[in-house]
Amino acid sequence: MPTEPPPEDLVRLPPRDPQASKRDHGRVVVVGGAPGMAGAPALAAMAALKSGAGLVELLVPDSVAAIAAAFDPCVMTRGLPAEAEGGFAAAAEDTLVARLTAADAGVVGPGIGRTAAVRDIVRRLWRDVSAPVVFDADALWALSAAEIDAVVVFKGAGTLVVAPGRQARNDTGNPGMATAGTGDVLAGVIAAILGQGLAPLDAARLGVWVHGRAGDAAAADLGEISMTARDLLDRLHVGFRAADCRPQ
């Protein structure tokens, strides 16, 4: 496994106050899911917990709530109104706006699908939610016709993190990470870091670096062929420990 230290300008999470409670480490709300895709938002939610979020709430359509809730008892899962085919209905929109607005950070998009209702919901969340939110997966489809001024992560070999006037290339990760679900994990990692107070560009850079180092640990243990997103999730602690190896 690569052992190179993180870049000198990589911003890290601050040390934790010994008197802190779960409410001091951020409340993350994950929005996503549809029939056949309950695992995607669950992976993002579990990654947020593994990345230090104090509380994680998972909002999914009623049609997949029982499945999504079964992945991890540490995640608070809630089902919202669904259309006949099982994706979010327009009636879920106000609740989604309210829950994300009350959060410290959010994720919107994993497994959410590409219906007209979802498109309208995602566009309203982009417009009306003031909390920092990671828009990923099918949420990007819904925003494809919108004007966007944001930090953007271009996932792939040598992942790029781009913001207006700035960009950084990441050097962790490996081809074994090209497998279903690793992007959902990354979205949850970045959201958790946002919820703990880092600025969007700093959170994206740290999240990408940690995510890649966790993937390198999984590849070292299992090989690039056999690793899955769940294996990466289980090694996020390796990435965070490695990111914190520099002197204070």
The CATH class of 26-243 is alpha beta
DSSP bridge partners of 79: 60
Name the DSSP class of 176: G
| Mean pLDDT estimate for the chain | 94
Report the distance separating Cα 25 and Cα 143, nearest Å.
Answer: 29
User: For residue 139, what are its two tokens?
Assistant: 């949420």
Contact 216, 169 (CB under 8 A): no
Report the distance separating Cα 13 and Cα 208, nearest Å.
Answer: 14
Mean pLDDT over residues 162-171, rounded?
92
- Residue pLDDT, tens place only, 235-247: 999 999 999 865 4
According to the model, what pLDDT value does residue 40 have?
98
- Residue pLDDT, tens place only, 77-120: 999 999 999 999 999 999 999 999 999 999 999 999 999 999 99
According to the model, what pLDDT value does residue 247 have?
44
Report the distance separating Cα 194 and Cα 139, nearest Å.
Answer: 18
Burial class (CB in 10 A: 0-12, 13-18, 19+), 136: buried
Does 153 score more than 50 pLDDT? yes
Domain ranges of the chain: 26-243
Contact 61, 80 (CB under 8 A): yes
